[in-house]
Chains A and B, each alone.
Chain A
Amino acid sequence: MSWTLILHGGAGQMTRDTVSQAQAEGARAALGRALDAGAAVLAADGAALDAVEAAVRVLEDDPHFNSGRGAALTHAGVAELDAAIMDGRNRNAGAVAGVTATRNPVSLARAVMANSPHVLLSGAGADAFSVEQGCEPATQDWLVLPERRAQLDEMLEGGGAFDVDMKYG
């Protein structure tokens, strides 16, 4: 039996005019590392669930993508993160929304699935659950990049209108 792994790092107004060579190459390299992380699980006959978590963790840690470190910021300048994971074997699922202090939200979502009777936890409660579960913490200093702060400032200077297509990366 074979295995397959597919990743995305976000879709949007990405053309050779809007994405710098450095950004594109950095993102390609990170996607390659994420493929390798997931493939290491699958090639060892591991579970798809472990593979997708391993791959997403790499992308959350990489600053080129809107997740984890390098996430887009709220109007108030906070990195508020969302994540979900789901197992096709039994349709078990875990998700978190609006978490602010966990390095890898996808692993927190998995902890919700594995160690709670719930599917979705949000906000301060989800942050507290993360501490109880011993998920690796992250400060806003770790999560927030200067480029993201600049993008937010640019938006706020322009009136800060919420534009569903205003998506950076």
Chain B
Amino acid sequence: TVGAVACDVHGHVAAATSTGGVTGKRWGRIGDSPLIGAGTYADDRAGAVSCTGSGEFFIRANVAHEICARVRLAGETLEAAVETVLAEVTALGGTGGIIVAGPKGEALWRFSTPGMYRARLDSAGGREVAVFGDE
């Protein structure tokens, strides 16, 4: 699974996710990536979210929309919302990662696996590319 989230100079956010699913999937199994609100969501009032991981758990926790709803309705920061919702996925038995871009320039990732292919870049010149959890 791959994904991107961005905030542009106009303060608008967007999210995109693309995947092959899991090796050996059968019976038309679909994970969270194409499900709006589960693996992919974007709302200028909160942020843009793209997820990767054990899709069944990200669907059940409705991760991408839940993060945006916590920001919009409960006034949480994106960071707090991401950490809370990822902990819910973990409590259900799932693992994975989340990337988020906020309309105020917030940019963060969290993951509960040993590693995640990840990268970030911003207009101030900050650039980071990483693979392993300890980077």
Contacts and interface: CB of A to CB of B under 8 A. Distances in A.
Please tell me the size bucket of the interface on B.
Answer: 35 or more
Contact of B116 (A8, A42, A87, A95): A8
B22 A167 contact: yes
Contact of A98 (B5, B30, B109, B120): B30
Interface string A52-85: 1101100110000111101111111001111111
B17 A56 contact: yes
A76 B26 CA distance: 8
Secondary structure at chain A's binding surface: helix, strand, loop or mixed?
Answer: mixed
A154 to B, nearest CB: 9
Nearest to B50: A8
Interface residues of A, number: 88
Interface in B20-55: 20-26, 28-31, 33-36, 39-44, 47-48, 50, 52-55
B78 to A, nearest CB: 12
A19 interface: yes
Interface of A: 1-16, 19, 24, 27-28, 31-32, 34-35, 38-39, 42-43, 45-49, 51-53, 55-56, 59-60, 65-68, 70-76, 79-89, 91, 93, 95-98, 104-106, 109, 119-120, 122-123, 148, 151-152, 155-156, 160, 162, 164-168
Interface of B: 1-26, 28-31, 33-36, 39-44, 47-48, 50, 52-57, 94-97, 99-101, 103, 105-109, 111-124, 127, 129, 131-133
